A and B are shown apart, each in its own frame.
Chain A
Amino acid sequence: MVDTIVKAEALKAYYITKAYGVERTVKAVDDISIEIKTGEVYGLAGESGCGKSTLLKVLLGDFQPPLTVVEGSVSYQFEGMSKDATKLSEQDKRDIRWNKVSYIPQGSMHVLNPVRRIQDTFHDFITTHKGTTKPQSFEMTQAYLRDLGLPEKVMRSYPHQLSGGMKQRVTIALATILYPKLIFADEPTTALDVVVQRGVIQLLKDIQKKENSTVVLITHDLGVHANLADRIGILYAGKLVEEASTRTILKTPKHPYTQFLINSLPSFDERSAKEGIPGRPPALDHPPSGCRFHPRCPLAIEKCSTVEPPMLELAPGHRAACHLLTDEVNHAAG
C-alpha cells in the first residue's frame, strides 16, 4: 500500500495587501487539492505567475504576510505523526525541516553564504537539527559528498570558487544531507546550461532512488518533468487544471491548456516554428470569471465564462477541470 505523505485540501492562499486604504487580494493559490504519495516524484508545471512558487511556499509552511492561507490545510504524514504545515511552531520547524522535509531552492547562485566555507555552512545546517560537533558534521558532510560523487575539496572552498553547476549540486547536497523523506525542489535546473542540467537531474534521481524519498518538483520546463516526474499537475492562474501520470499528460492531455503546453514543446523531427498560446496569463487580483482559461481558450463555449468547471475524474488517476470534458465523463459513466 502506498501512503500519502502530503495532502493539501481545498487550499486557498492569497496575498492580501492594503495600501492607502485600498485592499488588494491576489488569489495565487485558489482551491487546490493534491495528494502526494510516499516515494513518488510529483511535478508541478505551469507558466510564470500561475502560482507554482506560492503553492510551494504553502506546502513548505514557509510563508509570511502578505501571503495568508485563507482556507484549507496542508498535512504532513510521517510515521506515527501528522502535522499541519500551515501552522508550524519554531520548535516544529527545527524538528521537521531538513530531518523530514527539505527544500532545494531555485537554481540560483546565491543560496550559499558568500563569506563562509562550504564545510562551515554544512555544519551550521547539520548542527541545528542534530546538535553535532564540528568534526562530526565534517565527517557526515565528507561521507555524503563522497556518496554523491562530488569532489571533497569543495568543502574547503568558498561559494565564489565553485561553478554554477557545482554550486547547485552542493546546494542539493546541503538540502538532502539529513536524508529527508520529502524534498521540495523549486526550479532546480533553471539558469544552468543543458549539460549541467543533466548532471543535476541525475543527482536528484540518484538521491530519490537511494532513499526512496518523495520529491515535489516545480519547474516550467516540461522536459525536466518528462525526465523525472511520475505524475504531473498542471497549474493555471492559481488553479489545478489537470493531473495525471507523466505518460498520460504527455501523450493524451485532456485540458485545452495542457494540450497547448504540450504542443508548444519542440521536437527533433519538426522544424516549423512552434505555435504559442495566444494571450497572456491573467492577473490574479482580478481573475476571469468562470473557467480562468476561457479568454485564451479557442474551444470555449458560453458556459465557460460564467460557471467554474468542477474537477472531473476522467480515469483512475487522471483529473481535469474543463466543461468540455463533462460529456466524456458522463458518456463513460453512462
Chain B
Amino acid sequence: MKLLRTFVLPRIIQYLVVIFIGITLTFLIPRLSPINPVDNAVGRLSAFQTMAPEATVALRESLMDLYGLDGSLLEQYFSFWKRVLTFDLGPSFTVFPTPVSKLIGSSIGWTIGLLSLSIILAWVLGLILGTLAGFFPNSWWARTLENSLIVIYPIPYYIVAFVLLMAFTYYLPIFPLVGGSKGAPGFTWSYISSLLYYGFLPALSLILGGVAFRFIISKALTSTERSSDYVRFAEMAALPKHKILFSYLIRNTLLPQVTDLGLSLGLIFEGALITEAVYGYPGLGTLLLGAINSADYNIIMGITLLSIIGIATASLLVDLSYPLIDPRVRYS
C-alpha cells in the first residue's frame, strides 16, 4: 500500500501531467502559426475551379467548423479536448471524409508489428553479441564482429534500406518491391508467411543498424563492468564463468539497456518514416509522410498525439518496472 502511495501514484500523476502538457502544446502550436490550414485548403480547392464568393465563404465556414477552428481560443481548446477524449480526430483532408482515427487505425498495426519486432530483435541480438564480445575481448570473432558492426553503424538507415531494396528486389529479385502482405487477412499460414516475406527487408534494414548500435553500447558497458570490483572479486574466487557472466555482469549492464528498450518502443508511433516510404510499407510512417506532403493537419495531429501518449506510457512503464530489476530503487 505504501509502495502504491509513495512510488506508483506520483508517477501516474506525473504521467497524466506530461500528457496534458503535450496535448495542450499540440493544440497551441499550429494555432500560433501564421498559416491557417483552412485558408490553405480553400486556396487549393479554388485553384482548380472558379467559385462564387458566397460559395467560398460557405466552404470556409464549414471547414472551420469541421476542423474545430471556430470561436475563441478557449472555446476551441475545450472542444479540442472533447474530441481527443472521444477519439474523434476529425476527417482527413486528402481522403475526405474518412475520419483520421480510421486511417490511423488501419496503419497502426503494420507499424507496431514491424517496429516492435525489429526493435526487440535488434535489442536482444545486440545485447547478447555485445556482452559476449565484451567478455571475450581478445577472441578473433569478437574483433571481426566489432569491426564490421562499427562500419555498419554510421551508415544512415535509409541508405541501408535503399541498398537492400536495390540488391534484393532489382538485381536479385528475391523479395517484393512494395506492400505489406498478400492474400486475404486471416490466421492462415499463407497470410502469415506473406507478412514475414514482405516485412523481411524493411525489418532487416532496421535491425542491422539497431544491432550495431546495441552491440557497441553493450560491449562498452560490459568492458566497464568487467573491471568493477565485484566482478574482479568473483573472478578471484574462481566463480564459474557463466555465473559471473549472467549473475554479475549482465544483471548489472541490463539496467540502462531496459530503459533504452522501453523508450525506443515508445517511439514506435512515429513510425519508421523513411524505411516505410522506401518499401511502400502501409504503416504510420507512410501515412505521416503523405499527410505532411499534402498538409493534412488532422492526420499529423493524430499521429503526434499518439506518439506523445506512446512515449509517456513507455517512460511510465519503464519507471514502474525499475524496482523489479534494480533493488537499489526499491526502497528509496
> B-contacting residues of A (Cβ < 8 Å)?
60, 62, 90, 93-94, 97-98, 103, 105, 108, 110-117, 120, 124-125, 128-129, 158, 160-161
How long is the Cα–Cα vector from A160 to B327 in the complex, in angstroms? 9
A112 neighbours in B (Cβ, 8 Å): 230
Is B237 a contact of A97 with CB atoms below 8 Å?
A: yes
Question: Restricting to B114-159, which residues have a CB under 8 Å from any CB of A?
Answer: none
User: In the complex, which of the residues A93, A110, A114, A124 contacts B243, with contact meaning CB atoms closer than 8 Å?
Assistant: A124
Q: A158-B328, A160-B328 are in contact. Are A113 and B247 (CB under 8 A)?
A: yes
Are B236 and A113 touching (Cβ within 8 A)?
no
Chain B, residue nearest A90 (CB)? B238
Nearest CB in chain B to that of A102: its residue: B237
Beyond A110-B229, A158-B327, A160-B327, whether A115 also contacts B251 by CB under 8 A is: yes
Report the separation of the CA atoms of residues A105 and B230 in the bound assembly, to the nearest whole angstrom: 10
Alpha-carbon distance between A103 and B325 when the two chains are bound, in angstroms? 30
Residue in A90, A114, A125 whose beta carbon sits within 8 Å of that of B237 in the complex: A125
In the bound complex, do residue B237 and residue A128 qualify as a contact, i.e. CB atoms below 8 Å apart? yes
CA distance A151 to B238 in the complex (A): 27
Rounded to whole angstroms, the CA-CA distance of A116 and B251 in the bound complex is 9
Which residue from A60, A90, A114, A158 sits with its C-beta under 8 Å from B236?
A: A60
Query: Within the complex, which residue of B234, B240, B255, B331 is in contact with A113, where a contact is CB–CB below 8 Å?
Result: B234
Q: Nearest chain-B residue to A161 (Cβ)? A: B331
Q: CB of B252 within 8 A of chain A?
A: yes
Can you identify 27 A-B contacts, CB atoms within 8 angstroms? A90-B238, A97-B238, A103-B233, A105-B233, A108-B229, A110-B229, A111-B229, A111-B233, A112-B230, A113-B230, A114-B252, A114-B327, A114-B328, A115-B255, A115-B325, A115-B327, A116-B251, A120-B247, A124-B243, A124-B247, A125-B234, A125-B237, A128-B239, A129-B237, A129-B238, A158-B327, A158-B328
- Is B248's beta carbon under 8 Å from chain A? yes
Known: A113-B247, A113-B248, A113-B252. A97 touches B236 (CB 8 A): yes
The 5 A-B pairs at the shortest CB distance, nearest first, are namely: A110-B229, A93-B238, A158-B327, A111-B233, A94-B238
User: A128 vs B229: C-alpha distance in the bound complex, in angstroms?
Assistant: 19
- Set A94, A103, A111, A128: member contacting B230, Cβ < 8 A: A111
**A191-B325 Cα distance, complex, nearest whole Å:** 29
A51 to B19, CA, bound (A): 59
Residues of B within 8 Å of A110, CB to CB, are 228-230
A112 to B229, CA, bound (A): 8
Query: A160 — which chain B residues lie within 8 A by C-beta?
Result: 327-328
B331: which A residues are within 8 A, CB to CB?
161
- Does B326 interact with chain A (Cβ within 8 Å)? yes
What is the 8 Å Cβ interface bit string for chain B, positions 224-258, against chain A (1 contact, 0 not)? Answer: 00001110011011111001000110011001000
A160 and chain B: residue at smallest CB distance: B328
Q: A129 vs B237: C-alpha distance in the bound complex, in angstroms?
A: 9
Which residues on B sit within 8 Å (CB–CB) of A128? 237-240, 243
Please, which residues of chain A bring their CB within 8 A of the CB of B230?
A: 110-114
Q: List A contacts of B248 (CB < 8 A).
A: 113, 116
Q: Interface readout for B205-237 with A: 1 if CB under 8 Å, 0 if not?
A: 000000000000000000000001110011011
The minimal Cβ–Cβ distance linking B181 to chain A, given in whole angstroms, is 43
Residues of A within 8 A of B327 (CB): 114-115, 117, 158, 160
Across the interface, which residues of A come within 8 angstroms of B237, CB to CB?
Answer: 97-98, 103, 125, 128-129
Excluding A115-B328, A125-B234, 15 further A-B contacts by CB distance (< 8 Å) are A94-B238, A97-B236, A98-B237, A111-B233, A114-B327, A115-B255, A116-B248, A124-B234, A124-B243, A128-B237, A128-B239, A128-B240, A129-B237, A160-B327, A160-B328
Instruction: Return A60 CB to nearest CB of chain B, in Å.
Output: 7
Cβ-defined partner of B326 (8 Å) among A115, A117, A129: A115
State A124–B241 Cα separation when bound (angstroms).
12
Q: Which residues of B lie under 8 Å from residue A62 when comparing CB positions?
A: 236
Interface pair B247/A116, CB less than 8 Å apart = yes
